Amino acid sequence: MKKFDAVVIGAGMSGIACALRLQSFGLNVALIEKHRVLGGLNSFFQRVKKSPTGQRLGIRQFDVGLHALTNFAKKGSRNRPLMKILRQLRIPYDSLLLKEQNYSLIHLDNRKIKFDNNIETFIKEVESFFPDQLEGFNKLVEVVKNSTLDTSDTLYVSSREKIKEFISDETLQEMIFLPVFYYGSSWEDDIDFKQFCIMFQALYLEGFSRPYGGIRTLFNILKEKMQSLNIVRMMGVAVQKIEQKLDHHILELSNGEVISTKKVFSSIGYPETQRVLGKKVNKESVGKLGFVEVQIFYNDLLEKKLPTICFYNKTKKFVYRNPDTLIDTDSAIICSPEGYDEFEGKEGILRVTFLANYKLWKELDSKQYDEKKEYVEKIARDLICEVYPEHNRKECFIDTFTPLTVEKYTSHMNGAIYGATKKFLNGDIGIKDLFLIGTDQGYLGITGSILSGISMANMNGFPTRHNP
């Protein structure tokens, strides 16, 4: 039986970062991934690009999760999450080749306000369109800046109620929540205020960037780090069962192997971890929020005036719930990977994301599934025409994923990208020497996921003398 000091389950961002940090302590670490590619929720893939006559024209590359890298920090910045990650994983800042967003747009009903990587832009927008809310908004900004995350604090505080202490205008409330919910809430119509502060800082105080070359740039760096540290990687292998012993865990793998480890760090989610522990999964612990995303490719690059990301809501009230229909057409995200300082591709791309009902997608047979994907693609095209009426580029390719795609490649029940509503900020789910990292630990987004893996390794790795 192979024996390890620590096993990390899942080779997404949090899992890779956790394995790297543990290995840097001098531990013998195994990283186990059920698929044959790295990435988890933020993976990538490619398809052959062909002409109408079938002639091979090259490769078309897709980023799955990356709309934007949150928590942007300029080189030399201090006390920023991104800089902490780079320092602890010993990654040079320049190797990321980061490009800043142009600007992003919040489009609610017929009201529009923009923000970028300078909070002063958002403050000026509030001053222009909601002058009576400026004082309260500035107070909210200060509260977020001074907030600290207490990992022992498990009390849920409603952000919808808390924000009323600062913002009385309901339209501005909805505008603030629109990006925050879409980019990090596993709760329907709300988010815990601790999570709200994390997301507010990530989106509004620090902002968006994108590595040149997309998510591959970051993964190539992490992959090289893993190779240099000789981390044992088991790809295409799933953990089927975890058995707890007195001072170690026994893991049964899908390839028939059985391995032993002192500690387990699981990035697969709380209910999913409960399942491999052989425990009953409470339905209430399974996330309800899934998404459908349509990626549309165009023959030409898009207009640079398009926002990096448009957070769209058709009505005055933003409803963030599991919809009663296949998708919710009242709200969406429209992302332009070209909306940064520079773009390296030769084709234009727009990515349109809708809230989606996992159960309804699951009930479709294969023919209905394909038909409904085409139906959603039409809605995405119509929405682009509505929001960007001058957009008239010629489409050359389209690809769509649903909650079933997420379920297949991540094993997240219900295809819930943001996992369960119950988060475990200290990683402890009541099993000795087993810790959650990633989505259900509570740090969200790409930067948050990496930080989760690092933080949980620092808190629960060994030997203690290596902890910061």
d(CA 272, CA 289): 16
Percentage of the chain surpassing pLDDT 70?
91
Closest CA to 327 of 304, 362, 358: 358
Q: What is the pLDDT of residue 155?
A: 84
Half-sphere exposure of 368 (CA within 13 A, CB side): 7
pLDDT in tens, 313-342: 999 999 999 999 999 999 999 998 877 776
284-312 per-position pLDDT tens digit: 778 888 999 999 988 887 766 789 999 99
What domains are there in the chain, each with its CATH number? Answer: 1-91+208-286+420-468 (3.50.50.60), 120-206 (no CATH), 288-417 (no CATH)
Rounded distance, CA 282 to CA 6, Å? 27
| Rounded mean pLDDT, 22-28 | 92
pLDDT band at 85 (very low <50, low <70, confident <90, very high): very high
CA distance 98 to 63: 16
The tokens describing 8, both together, are 């990390």
User: What does 333-399 look like in DSSP terms, one character per residue?
Assistant: EEE-TT-BS----SSEEEEEEEEE-HHHHHT--HHHHHHHHHHHHHHHHHHHHHH-TT--PPEEEEE
Cβ atoms of 70 and 183 within 8 Å: the answer is yes
pLDDT tens digits, 160-174:
999 999 999 999 999
* 270-295 mean pLDDT: 88
The mean predicted confidence, pLDDT, of the chain is 88
**Helix, strand or coil for residue 279?**
coil
pLDDT value at position 347?
79
**Averaged over 396-418, what is the pLDDT?**
84
pTM, full prediction: 0.90
Distance of CA 126 to the CA centre of its chain: 27
Examine the pLDDT at 118 and tell me if it is beyond 60.
yes
Q: Angle 445-460/13-24 helices, nearest 10 degrees?
A: 30
Tally DSSP H helices, then E strands, for the chain. 13, 18
Q: What is the pLDDT of residue 299?
A: 84
Region 149-166: mean pLDDT is 87
pLDDT at 300: 80
